[in-house]
Amino acid sequence: MRLLVIEDEDRLSGILKSKLGDVGFTVDIASSTLDANAALELINYDAAVLDLGLPDGDGLAVLAAARRIGKALPILILTARDAVEDRVAGLNAGADDYLTKPFAMSELIARINALLRRPGGVLGIKLEAGNVRLDTVGRELTVAGTPVRLSRRELAILEQMMRRFGRIVPKTVLEEKLYGIDEEPDSNPIPVHVHHLRRQLEAANASLAIHTIRGVGYILAETRL
Amino acid sequence: MRRRIKSLQLRLSIELAALFLVASCLAIGGLIYGASLTAGSLANRELGLRVEDLVSHVSLDQAGRPRLELPPGLRQAYDTAAQQSVFAILDKDGRLVEASTPELGAMIGRSPPADTEPSYFQLSHFGPLGQNYSGVGMRLDSAAGPLSLMVAQVSGGDQLVHSILREFVFDTAWYVPPFVALALLLATYSVRRSLRPLRTASAQATDIGPGSISIRLPEADVPTEALPLVIAVNRALDRLEQGFTIQRRFTANAAHELRTPLTIITARLDSLEGNGEVSALREEVARMNRLVEQLLCVARLDSVVLDVSAPVDLRQIAEEVVGSMAHLALASSRSIALTGAEHPVRITGNAEAIADALRNLVENALAHTRPETEVIVEVGSEGVLSVLDSGPGIPLNDRPRIFDRFWRGKGARSEGAGLGLAIVMEIVRAHGASIAVSDRTPCGARLDLRFRPA
């Protein structure tokens, strides 16, 4: 997996390169908008991490240029600016996610993985968290290597949770995703499906647990050892 | 203390009214004075004519002494019991020729007029009837030699004046009050009209707020007298806007300068193999990260006035905050929940700031409760955000001070810098909201942020 990190601070880009390298990414560094534009044009990166404050211009210009030449790769903005206007401007310009400095490296890696897992993303087909693997196309689930059978609804719920692993999945999002999954009238509300899913994960000794955040939604997280 | 009238319009109107009143009084007074002068001179002229008339009837008798021979009609006029007109005549030797009434005869004997110029006099309570007279005395030549005369008439000349004045008031003076009223009305209207651009400017000024500091007052159509003020206000707004911009840029730059090195330190520490020292350092850096965030937040709140005019949905904010803090709660073995209104709760405010405040309250609650307890965020449909925990509660004595900057409770663990609740307070103040601390049963604290309804 090849990433472009656009960052002018040498020390930070060095750390990013080594850290992201540790988890299996191939990282190129661009330290100016000129370099970044050239790199994005030449190479089809799987994702890019973009710092907004660059010595020869605004990172948003790089973003706009990439989108203009038809590059659809996920781009995560990394910046020290945290004013709402900046965030809105970044997302409006076509960024896929936004992370403010200072950040934990684990968070950055999780966000990049989440972007890659999006439908259409490179990791979109096979999701993996803990000892749970889900093939979203073949609809096959294995826990610690053993196949587990789930209903379509439970699979759909699990897929949403794995795509946003470690982050909240609002109940409303689940409702939207489940709506129209098939035409059979279904009286079971989402909590019932989640309850079944949770029991089956437990039964299969999954290293993941579904936490209910009452009033908001669910979080899939690794069980503490 | 003297109270000053603040309304320019009222002041102008009052002063104009006073001016018109004085002017019309002067005009009417002048006319009355003129009329009475005219009436007076008419009376004097009549007296003069009588003097000449009397003199023309004086002739010398056989003894060579002056003698008055009035035609019967005239004699009758002077002899009436009413004593309307009286006269007295002296000859050149000071002897009385004739007096229509003895009192006047006595008077002319005491002080005979010696001048050929007429000298006018007034007599009050004079004669047998005690009437008021105006009269003239003079010396003049006649067919019978030089004579001194006094002629007086009951002051009926006033009647003439009164009739003239009556005529004047009825024919002329009545139009003065309506004219004054009309002029006043016109003046008031024109003052109102000339002040209208100022009212427009005021309306525009009410729109100027922290979120719209680029608005300027309209300078067109403003009266010349008020223009310097409007221009000065606009210049002042220019300078304020500049100041705001500089402050914002400073805060943004400071944030950048502090955050980048912190990120590097965090990342470097992450890559070190963890022994006890390293994980202690990591905790310190995490604390420092948090402190820098809070200091930046305080700086931002101090330097930039919050724009609290946007429509926001408290339910949505609560959902986002609870969602984003869920992992933090789980990581510290606590749970978090959202209860209350399930529908949007709309108020006007600043969504980002309210989320900041709520985040600080939740962080505080998580830090002060035991593991395996639940922190509840509750949305009240009347615009209330509440955070409920099951911790020890907040002692009554501490409640007034918990919102002070850098204040920390006695038993507080060392993590917090004591800025979280101060930030909450700033945000509450900016929204004109209120915050209330209370106890929960059986244990725990409840903090209610009560916003003004939209």
Say whether A19 and B270 touch across the interface (CB within 8 A): yes
Contact list in B for residue A211 (CB cut-off 8 A) is 326, 330, 335
Q: Which residue has the higher pLDDT, B48 or B335?
A: B335
Say whether B252 and A217 touch across the interface (CB within 8 A): no
SS3 for chain B is CCCCCCCHHHHHHHHHHHHHHHHHHHHHHHHHHHHHHHHHHHHHHHHHHHHHHHHHCEEECCCCCEEECCCHHHHHHHHCCCCCEEEEEECCCCCEEEECCHHHHHHHHHCCCCCCCCEEEEEEEECCCCEEEEEEEEEECCCCCCEEEEEEEECCHHHHHHHHHHHHHHHCHHHHHHHHHHHHHHHHHHHHHHHHHHHHHHHHHHCCCCCCCCCCCCCCCCCCCCHHHHHHHHHHHHHHHHHHHHHHHHHHHHHHHHHHHHHHHHHHHHHCCCCHHHHHHHHHHHHHHHHHHHHHHHHHHHHCCCCCCEEEEHHHHHHHHHHHHHHHHHHCCCEEEEEECCCCCEEEECHHHHHHHHHHHHHHHHHCCCCCCEEEEEEECCCEEEEECCCCCCCCCCCCCCCCCCCCCCCCCCCCCCCHHHHHHHHHHHCCCEEEEEECCCCCEEEEEECCCC
Tokens standing for residue A31: 């330290």
Residue-wise pLDDT for B45-93, tens only, equals 888 888 888 888 888 888 778 888 888 888 877 877 777 788 888 888 8
Contact between B101 and B128 (Cβ < 8 Å): yes
Tell me the C-alpha to C-alpha distance, in Å, between residue A54 and each of A8, A51, A61: 6, 7, 10
B271 CB near a chain A CB, below 8 Å? yes
Q: What is the ipTM of this complex?
A: 0.71
A94 CB near a chain B CB, below 8 Å? no
Domain boundaries along the sequence of chain B: 1-206, 307-450
Of B270, B338, B377, the CB nearest to A105: B270
- Give this prediction's pTM: 0.59
Contact list in B for residue A175 (CB cut-off 8 A) is none
A26 CB near a chain B CB, below 8 Å? no
Residue of chain A nearest B251, judged by CA positions: A81
Residue of chain A nearest B249, judged by CA positions: A81
Which of B247, B251, B259, B263 is the mutation pick for testing A, counting most A CBs within 10 A?
B263
Domain A2-117 identical in fold to domain A126-222? no
Say whether B330 and A221 touch across the interface (CB within 8 A): yes
Say whether A102 and B289 touch across the interface (CB within 8 A): yes
Q: Which of A67-76, A148-157, B256-265 has the lowest mean pLDDT?
A: B256-265
Q: β-strand A47-51 against A2-6: which pairing, if any? A: parallel
Of A84, A105, A166, the CB nearest to B327: A166
Residue of chain B nearest A85, judged by CA positions: B352
The CATH code belonging to domain A2-117 is 3.40.50.2300
Q: Which residue has the higher pLDDT, B344 or A223?
A: B344
pLDDT of residue A50: 92
When pLDDT is cut at 50, 70 and 90, the band that residue A186 belongs to is: low
Contact list in A for residue B292 (CB cut-off 8 A) is 102
A55 CB near a chain B CB, below 8 Å? no
| Non-local CB neighbours of A124 within 8 Å, separated by 6+ positions | A116, A117, A118, A136
Contact list in B for residue A102 (CB cut-off 8 A) is 259-260, 262-263, 266, 289, 292
* Nearest-neighbour CA in chain B from A211: distance (Å): 8
pLDDT of residue A123: 65
Contact list in B for residue A15 (CB cut-off 8 A) is 264, 267-268, 271
* Nearest-neighbour CA in chain B from A222: distance (Å): 10
Residue-wise pLDDT for B13-40, tens only, equals 788 778 888 887 888 788 778 777 777 7
A81 CB near a chain B CB, below 8 Å? yes
Surface-to-core class of residue B282, CB atoms within 10 Å of its CB (0-12 exposed, 13-18 middle, 19+ buried): middle
Multiple choice CATH, B307-450, 3.40.50.150, 3.30.530.20, 3.60.15.10, 3.30.565.10: 3.30.565.10
Give the ranges where A94-168 is alpha helix by DSSP (H).
Answer: 105-117, 152-163
Tell me the C-alpha to C-alpha distance, in Å, between residue B144 and each of B60, B63, B98, B440: 5, 12, 14, 130
pLDDT over threshold 60, residue B416 = yes
Of B259, B338, B377, the CB nearest to A102: B259
B322 CB near a chain A CB, below 8 Å? yes
Q: How far apart are CA A18 and CA A4, in angstroms?
A: 13
Pairs of residues, one from chain A and one from chain B, whose beta carbons lie less than 8 Å apart: 91
B370 CB near a chain A CB, below 8 Å? no
Of B260, B292, B322, the CB nearest to A216: B322
Residue of chain B nearest A105, judged by CA positions: B267
Q: Which fold has domain A126-222?
A: Arc Repressor Mutant, subunit A (1.10.10)
Residue-wise pLDDT for B100-118, tens only, equals 888 888 888 888 887 888 8
pLDDT of residue B1: 46
